């Protein structure tokens, strides 16, 4: 099984030993960030720094002229990734014998939400989610499609992995986060993810729903959960809270909005890319799920993209709906955390990989070579050598 590890440019640039160290893990590929959200990252082996603070979502290369005169445009990186940081790292990794693919984060941008609040998801209470651009808004969709095409097709890249190409919701790691006081399950999180910006209000109307009445129904449905009632979870829980017809109408609007964005973005990447360029989406097989691995319809997404990268932190079970599509040429990559301090299990990677293969995985992804300790990397090296 082909293996790739995620890497940031700042893991490589300024550290001459990094490319060979990553190659020595036994991976054939690196998935290198080209457009990324704000973060604070450890660099435990870098000769010049130990902490990198990426202050806002940015492209990690010089953006081109397509953005001139446009209101929505990508932000340049600051000192954490100056100049063509992506290109510098990509060249060094290629010289080490690694195949480089781009890692592109799309509908996840707190800086955009701070500068342009009108672009953000608005929940049923009127609260904005500045980290979550609403993918129903025409201008935002156009921005995301062009960003996907530009950031994905960097010089020398053999493919791309598009993250957050879909709806984002309440779940979001944030500075001094205090949102876990009430345990919302799948149903509550879905209701808190429903957007009520003007574009979404119009979309609900096209499904036969009155947006004001829907917002009121969402608030009423959530009230018992705020008081501690159990969340029944799953789509059946959403239907119980909203009613089957209303729930189905909201999902129809959101599913269609995400599907068409994914189709358009992948088509834009293909139009900009050379022949044979691989396009994968980070994805969850439950369409109403939101976040960095947004929900998709497995059959649809594998008819659009070359494959998917599937989160396996909770086990490899999410691989099955994609494997069941029976597409022999599709990439189904199981994404495993290998940073012990962040909940990963590099020590079980051999067993995890074997189980993922049984469930239909064709490749594996390792999160994340730059963040992992030396001990974690040793475990990865041993596991990949045993493949």
Q: 189, 152, 139: which is closest to 167 by C-alpha?
A: 189
Distance in angstroms (rounded) separating the CA atoms of residues 181 and 189: 14
What angle separates helix 198-206 from helix 244-272, to the nearest 10 degrees? 120
Mean pLDDT, rounded, for 182-199: 91
Return the structure tokens found at 277. Answer: 């360029």
Distance in angstroms (rounded) separating the CA atoms of residues 336 and 348: 10
Query: 382 in helix, strand or coil?
Result: helix
How many CB atoms are closer than 10 A to CB 65?
A: 6
Distance in angstroms (rounded) separating the CA atoms of residues 368 and 240: 39
Return the structure tokens found at 333. Answer: 């990559």
CA 329 and chain centroid, separation: 23
Domains and their CATH numbers in the chain: 2-180+255-385 (3.20.20.80)
Distance in angstroms (rounded) separating the CA atoms of residues 230 and 232: 6
What's the pLDDT tens digit per position in 124-165?
A: 999 999 999 999 999 999 999 999 999 999 999 999 999 999
Distance in angstroms (rounded) separating the CA atoms of residues 98 and 114: 37
Is the Cβ–Cβ distance between 32 and 103 less than 8 Å?
Answer: yes
Q: 168, 169, 171, 193: which is closest to 180 by C-alpha?
A: 171
Is the Cβ–Cβ distance between 249 and 204 less than 8 Å?
Answer: yes
Distance in angstroms (rounded) separating the CA atoms of residues 191 and 198: 17
Q: How confident is the model at residue 178 (pLDDT cuts 50, 70, 90)?
A: very low
* Residue percentage of the chain with pLDDT more than 70: 97
Burial of residue 74, with CB atoms counted within 10 A of its CB: 0-12 exposed, 13-18 middle, 19 or more buried: buried
Distance in angstroms (rounded) separating the CA atoms of residues 22 and 28: 10
Mean pLDDT, rounded, for 344-369: 97
The structure's pTM equals 0.96
Distance in angstroms (rounded) separating the CA atoms of residues 34 and 352: 28
Mean pLDDT, rounded, for 346-373: 97
Distance in angstroms (rounded) separating the CA atoms of residues 42 and 11: 9
Distance in angstroms (rounded) separating the CA atoms of residues 123 and 203: 15
Q: How confident is the model at residue 245 (pLDDT cuts 50, 70, 90)?
A: very high
Distance in angstroms (rounded) separating the CA atoms of residues 259 and 277: 21
| pLDDT(80) > 90 | yes
Q: How confident is the model at residue 387 (pLDDT cuts 50, 70, 90)?
A: confident
- Contacts of residue 178, defined as CB under 8 A and 6 or more positions apart, other chains included, come to none
């Amino acid at each position: 099984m082909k293996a790739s590890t995620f890497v940031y440019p700042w893991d490589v640039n300024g550290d001459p030993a990094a490319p060979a160290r990553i190659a020595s893990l036994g991976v054939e590929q690196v998935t290198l960030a080209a457009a990324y959200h704000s973060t604070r990252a450890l660099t435990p082996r870098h000769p010049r720094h130990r902490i990198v603070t990426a202050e806002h979502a940015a492209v990690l290369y010089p953006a081109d002229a397509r953005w001139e005169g446009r209101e929505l445009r990508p932000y340049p990186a600051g000192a954490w990734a100056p100049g063509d940081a992506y290109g510098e790292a990509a060249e060094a990794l290629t010289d080490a014998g690694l195949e480089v693919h781009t890692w592109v984060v799309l509908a996840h941008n707190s800086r955009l939400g701070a500068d342009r609040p009108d672009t953000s998801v608005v929940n049923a209470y009127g609260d904005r989610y500045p980290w979550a651009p609403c993918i129903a808004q025409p201008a935002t969709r156009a921005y995301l499609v062009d960003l996907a095409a530009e950031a994905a097709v960097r010089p020398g890249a053999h493919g791309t992995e598009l993250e957050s190409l879909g709806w984002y919701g309440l779940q979001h790691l944030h500075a001094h986060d205090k949102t876990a006081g009430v345990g919302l399950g799948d149903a509550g999180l879905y209701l808190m993810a429903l957007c009520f910006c003007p574009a979404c209000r119009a979309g609900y109307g096209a499904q036969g729903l009155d947006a004001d009445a829907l917002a009121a129904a969402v608030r009423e449905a959530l009230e018992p959960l705020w008081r501690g009632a159990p969340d029944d979870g799953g789509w059946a829980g959403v239907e119980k809270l909203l009613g089957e017809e209303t729930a189905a109408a909201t999902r129809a609007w959101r599913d269609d909005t995400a599907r068409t964005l994914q189709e358009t973005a992948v088509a834009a990447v293909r139009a900009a890319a050379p022949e044979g360029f691989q396009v994968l989406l980070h994805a969850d097989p439950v369409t109403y799920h939101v976040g960095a691995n947004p929900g998709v319809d497995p059959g649809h997404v594998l008819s659009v993209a070359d494959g998917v990268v599937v989160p396996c932190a909770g086990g490899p079970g999410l691989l099955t709906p994609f494997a069941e599509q029976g597409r022999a040429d599709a990439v189904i990559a199981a994404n495993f955390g290998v940073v012990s301090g962040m909940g990963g299990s590099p020590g079980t990677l051999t067993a995890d990989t074997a189980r993922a293969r049984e469930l239909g995985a064709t490749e594996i992804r390792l999160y994340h070579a730059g963040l992992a300790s030396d001990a974690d990397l040793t475990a990865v090296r041993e596991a990949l050598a045993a493949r």
